Structure 1
Amino acid sequence: MTNEMQVQITGCKLYAKLVGENNGKPTIVLDAGYGDYSKAWDSVIEDLSMLSKVLIYDRAGLGKSATSSNPRTSREMVKELKELLIEAKIKPPYILVGHSFGGVNLRMFATEYQNEVCGLVLVDSTPEDYRERFLPTMSEDFQQAYNKQFIYEGNYDEFMKSLQQLKDAKRKLNVPLMVLSAGKKAHYSKESQALWNDMQREILEISTDGELVIAENSAHYIQNDEPEVVVSAVKKLIDRV
């Protein structure tokens, strides 16, 4: 069963799609990376919808969603997602799955609404100290390309503000957590790859109950390179509910 909708929230309409049957299990909510929209999950949506109902959506200004005049920071995006869930009558509990910058948003969501979340899967999620600790270890070319990419939704400053919001909001979560780290990142030296995996491992500290999985054959889009790694992480959390 697939149900597409345009949901009116404060300031704009957001496109959302519900896929799968209502089997009494928590709804799986997917949030894509920076500048990406719901299509980023095409490789796993069918398998995930066998486990439970799945909600994919486009953040404001991306895909089929209208633009919003609100700042493009994590805190605002979390408010918009919360409003979308209320307006679309998608009740908690949720299992949250965030890729890259979407992981920043869903960590914030889990912090703000901890009692509505029964599992969190972070798919090669951006660590909050990325700029200070990781970026300086990369080549000048990489750093320049990284800094120039912020043209699709939030600008560079808004993205960095989002990472700061995540730092400021950080507290221990009583939510089962799966951290998936891409083990074969493009353009990463052996040292950079090792640091990346270490920083992903450190994200486990936000939860009382976390597990790291290194997707050895995946670049940044684990859901495309090894979709089964993402699906099995979600299944693991659903089975525990």
Structure 2
Amino acid sequence: MSKEYEKYVNIDGVALYTKVIKGKKDSPVIIMDAGYGDYSKAWYQVAERIIEYGTVLLYDRAGLGKSEKSPNARISSEMVKELKELLQQLQLKPPYILIGHSFGGINVRLFASFYPEETAGLILIDSTPENYRDDFLPIMSPEFQEAYYKQFIYEGTYEEFMSSLYEAGLHCKSIGNIPLVIVAAGKKAFYSSEAQVKWLQMQKELLQLSNNHRLIIAPNSGHYIQRDEPEYVIEAARWVLSHM
């Protein structure tokens, strides 16, 4: 039987919603960071299955889900700072396995780069590459590009989002031998065959972040692999644990 508790953590006067789920093992702490504008509900299908391997932390970043808005910049370095403080207040000690979906992948990469000694593993689920705008977006249809630029109303601005990608490019050169799994979607909606090939190529390029890595392609998944084929996220967690 798992035990779970919900708590609001005060960071700089802002109440952030957290849910901690404990199974048989207290350690490692498995942190799940959702995509841009998304929150903890994105992980519900997989969280209850992954507690077999440790303690799971789900949380809503500021301004999303049940968390209050923050006056601080909505850039990755600020989000990592808030996450670090949140972990300390919840007394969730390292080692951490960080799982980031989409934009959440930028956040967890930055966390691993800032705190490598606390990071036991990294799992990037269809994560945003820092060169997305320059190398990928131009091959997509005008309609897709227009929709892409219009989405930046939920969590920070387009400029803040691009600042986060810049931070990843600046700080996330290598995480050494920390176990890394890239889980990539093999069946993305609205992608031409050319775009799908390019996307998988860019996901493979993220492998160079670690000398200790694995690529998993979810053949029938769209962007939300943790919903479409959650077994690949579980497989990634197992691999990381066996290579720690």
Tell me whether 134-143 or 43-52 shows the greater mean CA deviation.
Answer: 43-52
The 8 Å contact of residues 24 and 52 in structure 2, kept in 1 or not, is answered as no
Residue from 55, 64, 68 that aligns with 1:66: 68
Q: What residue number does 1:191 align with? A: 194
CA distance in 2, matches of 1:11, 1:135: 38
Scaled by the length of structure 2, what TM-score is found?
0.97
The 8 Å contact of residues 9 and 87 in structure 1, kept in 2 or not, is answered as no
Scaled by the length of structure 1, what TM-score is found?
0.98
| CA apart distance, 1:23 | 1.6
Q: What residue number does 2:80 align with? A: 78
CA distance in 1, matches of 2:172, 2:102: 17
Residue from 109, 114, 117 that aligns with 2:116: 114
The 8 Å contact of residues 25 and 52 in structure 2, kept in 1 or not, is answered as no
| CA apart distance, 1:210 | 1.1
For structure 1, the residue ranges without an aligned partner over 5 or more in a row are none
Tell me whether 138-147 or 204-213 shows the greater mean CA deviation.
Answer: 204-213
| CA apart distance, 1:22 | 5.5
| CA apart distance, 1:24 | 4.4
Alignment pair present for 1:202 and 2:205: yes
| CA apart distance, 1:54 | 0.2
For structure 2, the residue ranges without an aligned partner over 5 or more in a row are none
1:1-241 equivalences under 5 Å are: 1-21=3-23, 23-174=25-176, 175-241=178-244
Structure 2 counterpart of 1:142, one-letter code: F
After the TM superposition, list the runs of 4 or more consecutive aligned residues in structure 1 that deviate by more than 4 angstroms: none
Per-residue CA deviation, residues 112-140 of structure 1 (Å, 9 max, x unaligned), is 00000000000000000000000000000
SS in 2 for 1:2: strand
Tell me whether 117-126 or 205-214 shows the greater mean CA deviation.
Answer: 205-214
CA distance in 1, matches of 2:44, 2:166: 30
- State the identity as a percent: 54
CA distance in 2, matches of 1:115, 1:49: 23
